[in-house]
Structure 1
Amino acid sequence: MTPSGTALRRSLGVRDAVVVGLGSMVGAGVFAALGPAARAAGTGLLLGLAVAAVVAYCNAMSSARLAALYPASGGTYVYGRERLGPFWGYLAGWAFVVGKTASCAAMALTVGAYVWPGQAHAVAVTAVVALTAVNYGGIQKSAWLTRVIVAVVLAVLACVVVVCLASGRADTGRLGLGQGAGAGAGAGGVLQAAGLLFFAFAGYARIATLGEEVRNPARTIPRAVPLALGIALVVYACVAVAVLAVLGADRLGHAAAPLADAVRAAGVPGLVPVVRVGAAVAALGSLLALILGVSRTTLAMARDRHLPGALAAVHPRFQVPHRAEIAVGAVVAVLAATVDVRGAIGFSSFGVLAYYAVANACAWTLGPAPSARVLPALGMLGCATLAFALPTASVVTGAAVLAVGVVAYGVRRRFAPPAPRGSA
């Protein structure tokens, strides 16, 4: 049972849930992640994309099965608590909140870098404040704005793909098909690229964390998650092929703004400002959905007193976790004013992969049939492999922050009185 006064309104259908997931996936990642991934994998970029997609699919299906059974805000925090015990739920929630808070900062800084490079941090903080206010106004307003953002971004990406492939300067030989992982890349480079690209795929979690606000979740969530993931994969593959064909792996790997460089190389420099606007809009869409997801997991953890109980309040008029949203927005604003985007992305990837490892472990417990355990097993293996293939600094920092969360959990269990569970 969810405590009285903290229940959220179920108002999202399949279309809205898919749009929220797309707003998280088809966002700034497609504008920013291709360059670092190409630097790691060379011509094995497309193989890295395929690996990331396979791991994401396993995670998505595990998450969809669990979300249908436990349609409450919090995602894997709730699943881990119910299937594996309170510690594993807490660990998943901690990994999600800290990892996705870093993602919020990275997306905000991406907005700043495209809108006003000289004042990127100031623009980032402004974006965080504005979107926190939008989320405060209610989930339907957020879903409506996300729908507009997704439409704009898809239109811009379609223009990039058409311009690049129709320019006459595209060379399919640059795709590296049939050449293995590419010169100098190797399996380690492909896996690191997959880990970086997973950062952009991970948005389908937002559908699960909004489970308490979805109509008929047992039907809606299992449909919305694979739909959103499938659309995102097609978009990413088309963009990757188009940009690789024009720039090649080496130029792509060293491009600060890969899509803008691609349309310039294709002979259409007039499209560069449009791409810059599209990148900023995409990052705003990701930031909007990220703040939604982090605040809902914060709500769930506050209900169980893993975070301050005051954060569990739901606004009586807007029916949103307003205190959690304000707290998340404040933390993200501070990070956006101080951190570097590259470090934020690597740290976020490690935390999110840890979160999904717990989700797959939960899905493993749903049934004894071997066929039902194949995807969770592949998902757990994939998450562990990609997490430790990330740059060393990201692995060390991520592991240290998770360890801090474990220590905090142990201290609370030892010295704090037991708290009633807030939700089923």
Structure 2
Amino acid sequence: MVDQTAAPETGERLSLLRVLGPGHVWALGVGIVLVGEYMGWNFSVGKGGMIAGLVACWVAGVLYTCVAMIDSEVTSTVASAGGQYAQAKHIIGPLMAFNVGLFLVMAYTMLESANAITVGFLLDAVANMSGHQGLDQRPFIILAIMFLAWLNYRGVLATLTFNFVITAIAFVAIIVLFLAVQFGVSATPLDYSAITEEPLPYGWVGILAALHFGLWYYLGIEGTCQAAEEVRSPARSLPLGTMCGIMTLLIAATLTWYVCSGLLPWEYLGQAGTPLFDAARVTGSFGLMVLLFIGTIFSTLASANGCINDSSRAWFSMGRDRYLPAWFGAVHPRYRTPYRAIVFLVPIALIFALGAPLDQVVTFSILSGLLGYTFMSFNMIIFRRKWPLGSIQRGYVHPFHPIPAVVLLVLCSTTYVAVFLGYGTQLIAMLLFYIVASLWFHFWRYRFVKRGDQFTMPWPRPRGY
């Protein structure tokens, strides 16, 4: 059967440009994630208190360190757009690859929507402070998504250079706030008395529940894999940018918890929309308030920008391999970007940004990401078993295998329980969605896939085959 949506041959010969370096990879990974320090993570405090929020921060840090190490090894070897989708395609098989591709697109598109919602919320909060009540947030949400989609449409180098600048400013803002509080700039002293008075207000189950939103500190660092086909030296740039990114985020996450938990009551912190900005307001310093406002805006824009980049690459790769209509696999003849995938995903992001509450959008993103991390555990073990060390060239070899994969699987399983406690209906709905999508792919879409064209790595026959 012929796929009537196939792109013309002239469009298929175009490829993405290799123009990125390690700094751009760092900007992509950290840029997507740093917004988690500015909003979302604090819901973990609301679930279990200050101690539970800190435990969630560090446990999630271990989980994502495992993710970063595993991704650095596999992606530096499978240097193809699509990231984990390309890994699944080469290592496990088509059905898993299709699902992983959907995990990526859903996780990044939902995160993009959450960022746009945060932009509107922050501007509304500032308007209320200045006496202008009832600001309509919708035009700002639409403008943010449309502007960043246009930037991605025009080229990856400008997109990620922009990300590097605004991500660096947002990260420096967190450092400045920490130093300012430490050196007495704040009119409100740090107060951690709640740790001794109410260390675990909801008991040990609060720690388990807090793990759900602890992921928000780091969710998206795996997005560095999506740049694999556009970096100049994948074997060097991807591991370096990814590992530097996770170290940056571990520092930022710990400082964020320390400052916000010391300045804001945990009951308020657990439901705040923009905790770092609120912490800056509590200090009484106008300069810090302006800086953290800029940092919050920049972090949300950097995250949404990176999400558009990553979701479009995953969608583009699936179209190029005909897992989706091949029309999506086109590359712009001038800008060399996956422009059709970029444009197609814009209205989906807008629908969720304009019509869904923030915590629901965050949960959808976390659940899709969590399913992807579970896949990574099995993917790493199968990868090492099929192609042991020495059988193929690797750009990076992560240590202590298989411990990171096992730890990742255990932490993912624990987090599923945490998500089920608070959002069981959403978890079941997402699983049903992916089951239905899998049936559609198996019984209909797979007939269009050119099976010989999708395996592009010049690897030897796997061990045991």
Alignment partner, residue 219 of structure 1: 236
1:403 and 2:435 matched = yes
1:19 aligns with 2:27: yes
**1:123 maps to which residue?**
140
Q: Distance in 1 between matches of 2:455 and 2:17?
A: 15
1:43 aligns with 2:62: no
Query: Residues of 1 paired with 2:115 and 2:187: CA distance?
Result: 33
Provide, for residues 238-291 of structure 1, a one-character-per-residue CA deviation record: whole Å limited to 9, x for no partner: 121011112242332143332233223333356334423321221011000000
2:272 is matched with 255
Q: Which amino acid aligns with 1:193?
A: A
- On the 8 A contact 1:18/1:207 being kept in 2, the answer is yes
Cα distance in structure 2, aligned partners of 1:221 and 1:80 = 18
Amino acid at match of 2:103: A
Q: Distance in 2 between matches of 1:323 and 1:256?
A: 33
Deviates more, 1:371-380 or 1:140-149: 371-380
Alpha-carbon distance in 2 for matches of 1:65, 1:164: 39
Q: CA deviation at 1:325?
A: 0.8
| Matching residue's letter, 1:40 | K
Matching residue of 2:408: 379
Q: Give the Cα–Cα distance (whole angstroms) in 2 for the partners of residues 232 and 49 of structure 1.
A: 11
Q: Which amino acid aligns with 2:357?
A: D
Supply the distance in 2 between the matched residues of 1:105 and 1:423 (Cα, whole angstroms). Answer: 33
State how far apart, in whole Å, the 1-side matches of 2:440 and 2:204 are: 37
- SS of match in other structure, 2:444: helix
Looking at structure 1, the residues matched to 308 and 449 of structure 2 have their Cα atoms a distance apart, in angstroms, of 29
Give matches, 1:11-90, under 5 Å.
Answer: 11-27=19-35, 29-44=36-51, 45-90=53-98
Q: Kindly report which structure 2 residues correspond to 1:19-418, keeping only aligned pairs within 5 A, or say none.
A: 19-27=27-35, 29-44=36-51, 45-116=53-124, 118-165=135-182, 166=184, 167=186, 169-171=188-190, 173-174=192-193, 176=195, 182-268=199-285, 271-368=288-385, 371-390=400-419, 391=422, 392-412=424-444, 416-418=447-449
**What CA distance in whole angstroms lies between the structure 2 residues aligned with 1:187 and 1:255?**
23
Of the structure 1 ranges 74-83 and 358-367, higher mean CA displacement relative to structure 2 is found in 358-367
- TM-score with structure 2 length normalisation? 0.84
SS in 2 for 1:349: helix
- 1:130 is displaced (CA, Å) by 0.5
Shift of 1:194: 2.7
Q: 2:448 and 2:28 mapped to 1: Cα distance? A: 38
Could you list the runs of 5+ residues in structure 2 that have no partner in the other structure? Answer: 1-10, 126-134, 389-398, 457-465
1:204-223 alpha-carbon deviations (Å, 9 max, x no partner): 22210110011211122122
- Given that 2:217 and 2:249 are in contact with CA atoms closer than 8 Å, whether structure 1 keeps it comes out as no
How far, CA to CA, are the matches of 1:181 and 1:63 in structure 2? 39
Distance (Å, rounded) in 2 between the aligned partners of 1:417 and 1:277: 48
Q: Does structure 2 conserve the Cα–Cα contact (< 8 Å) formed by 1:163 and 1:263?
A: no
Contact 1:175 1:245 (C-alpha < 8 Å) held by counterparts: no
In 2, the alpha carbon distance for the partners of 1:102 and 1:363 equals 26
Q: 2:45 touches 2:270 (CA, 8 Å); kept in 1?
A: yes
Contact 1:132 1:325 in 2 (8 A): yes
Alpha-carbon separation, structure 2, partners of 1:60 and 1:185? 32
State whether residues 111 and 281 of structure 1, in contact with CA within 8 Å, keep that contact through their aligned partners in structure 2. no
* Cα-to-partner distance string for 1:284-339 (whole Å, 9 max, x where unaligned): 11000000000000011111222121110011211111111111123212322222
User: Cα RMSD over matched residues?
Assistant: 2.3
Is the aligned partner of 1:419 residue 2:450?
A: yes
How far 1:227 moved relative to its partner? 0.8
SS in 2 for 1:213: coil
For residues 187 and 74 of structure 1, the distance between their equivalents in structure 2, rounded to whole angstroms, comes to: 39
Give the stretch that moved more between structures: 183-192 or 130-139.
Answer: 183-192
Whether the 8 Å CA contact 1:181–1:187 is kept in 2: the answer is no
Asked if the contact 1:349–1:387 (Cα under 8 Å) also holds between the matched residues in 2, the reply is no
Q: Is this contact kept in 1: 2:170–2:299, CA < 8 A? A: yes
Contact 1:62 1:376 (8 Å CA) reproduced: yes
Letter in structure 2 aligned against 1:383 = C
Larger radius of gyration: 2
Pick closer, same or farther for the CA change 1:404–1:98 going to 2, 3 Å. farther
Secondary structure, aligned partner of 2:13 = coil
CA distance 1:417–1:19, shift in 2 (3 Å): closer
Distance 2:292 2:81 in 1: 35
Question: What TM-score do you get using the length of structure 1 for normalisation?
Answer: 0.92
For the Cα contact (< 8 Å) 1:198–1:349, is it kept in 2?
A: yes
Deviation at 1:4, TM superposition (A): 4.8
How far is the alpha carbon of 1:63 from its aligned partner? 1.0
SS in 2 for 1:34: coil
Unpaired segments ≥5 residues, structure 1: none
Q: Report the CA distance between 1:379 and its aligned residue.
A: 1.1
Secondary structure of 1:119's counterpart equals coil
Q: Given that residues 33 and 221 in structure 2 are in contact (C-alpha distance below 8 angstroms), is that contact kept between their aligned partners in structure 1?
A: yes
